[in-house]
Each structure stands twice: as C-alpha cells, then as structure tokens.
Structure 1
C-alpha cells in the first residue's frame, strides 16, 4: 500500500510539470486518474532507476492534454495532494522536463501555488 502511494505521489509530481507547460484553451478535462496513468512509467526513474522512454511519452501526452488553466491547476492539485501524503521530494521530478525535452517556465517545488498557475 505504501509503495502504491509513493508511486502515485511521484506520478502526480510529474504531472504538475507537464500540465504547467501547456497553452490555455477551453474547460478542464484532466483528472488525477489520467495524470497518474500517464506518469506511471516515471516511477522507476524517481526511485533511482533509469529513465524509461515511456515516461517522456507520458509527460508529453499530459502537456498536450492540459490545454486550459483549469487543467493545469487540477494537475497541480493532484500532484501536491499525492506528494504531501507521501512525503515525496521534488528534486528528481524537477529534472524530468529537461531530460524529456520539455520546458517549464517556473521552478517545480513544494511551495508552488496551484491557484496562480495560468
């Protein structure tokens, strides 16, 4: 059970990275379930393993899906909730955008205010 929680927290952190880099469009469509599903391949890397190419594919899919401010804020909330419940650090998660060729215009961290994400 603890392992699943850690995986979800790591996935949530990765989702925040992806969601915050997308451009705005219509209404929110992102769910925590979707965020977690796309980022599951990143768990191994976040635990100290090698970067799975499917992790970057998942990140890119989330960036494409998180088109609205509401989507990005929802993904951020999913990530923060999971991270808080698991006590996950953001060090390696913050490295993933660069490793996957995704630019994030802000610092990823525990003090990120999801309500200020555009």
Structure 2
C-alpha cells in the first residue's frame, strides 16, 4: 500500500527546504489515489481534487523539491510494479493537470525548478 502511495506521489509533485508544502500534506492529498494506482479503472473524484490541490500549493522551486524529496523518502527501498507506476504516471493527465517537469523514480529533486 505504501509503495502505491509513493508511485502516486512521484507522478504529482516535486518540492524541499523551508517549504510551505509538508510531507504530511503530500500524503494526505494523494491518499485517495491509492485505489487507482493499485488497480486502475476510474480515478476517484477525491484523487483529482488532491492532485489539483497539491499542484496549486507547490508553486515555488522549494516546494516542488520538497514534495519530490517527500516522495523519495516514502518510496525508499519499496518496490512496485510497472502497472502501478504507469497508473500513477497517468494521473496528472487524467486529472487535467499539466506538470512542467518529467516524473520518474530516478528524478533528481535538486534539478527541479
């Protein structure tokens, strides 16, 4: 379950430092997305609400880097399937959110602007 949340987080954010967006906020906003990431199908309404909220909150470089680092710390050594990752990667488009950066488990958080 935790690895699914991490995959969802990887899709949506990238923020750290004296960030306005806390790691707890990232987890809370993306929690409704877990069922979609795990199983596909319809994206829960609460998921897109959280994706949009997180995207609107993470406006500064510091915030985007903070979110990225949060996601990476949660993911840690947890493994997830390519289907889970593909579902997570599809979330921004399914929720009508355009991200100005590439999302990948290997993203260097320090390179995010």
Q: TM-score, normalised by structure 1?
A: 0.78
Of 78, 81, 100 in structure 1, the residue corresponding to residue 70 of structure 2 is 78
Partner of 1:55: 47
Instruction: Give the stretch that moved more between structures: 82-91 or 36-45.
Output: 82-91
* Count of residues paired in the alignment: 107
2:13 matched to which residue of 1?
A: 19
Aligned equivalents of 1:105, 1:68: Cα separation in 2: 12
- Find the aligned partners of 1:88 and 1:72 in 2 and give their Cα distance: 23
Q: Which residue, 10, 13, 21 being the options, matches 2:4?
A: 10
Residues 59 and 95 of structure 1, relative CA distance in 2, 3 Å threshold: same
- TM-score, with structure 2 as normaliser: 0.81
CA distance in 1, matches of 2:67, 2:23: 7
In structure 1, distance between residues paired with 2:10 and 2:105: 11
Gaps of 5+ in 2: none
- For 1:105, what is the secondary structure of its paired residue? coil
> RMSD in angstroms over aligned alpha carbons?
2.0
Deviations 1:8-62 (A, max 9, x none): x433443444334x9xxxx521111110000010000011143101100000000
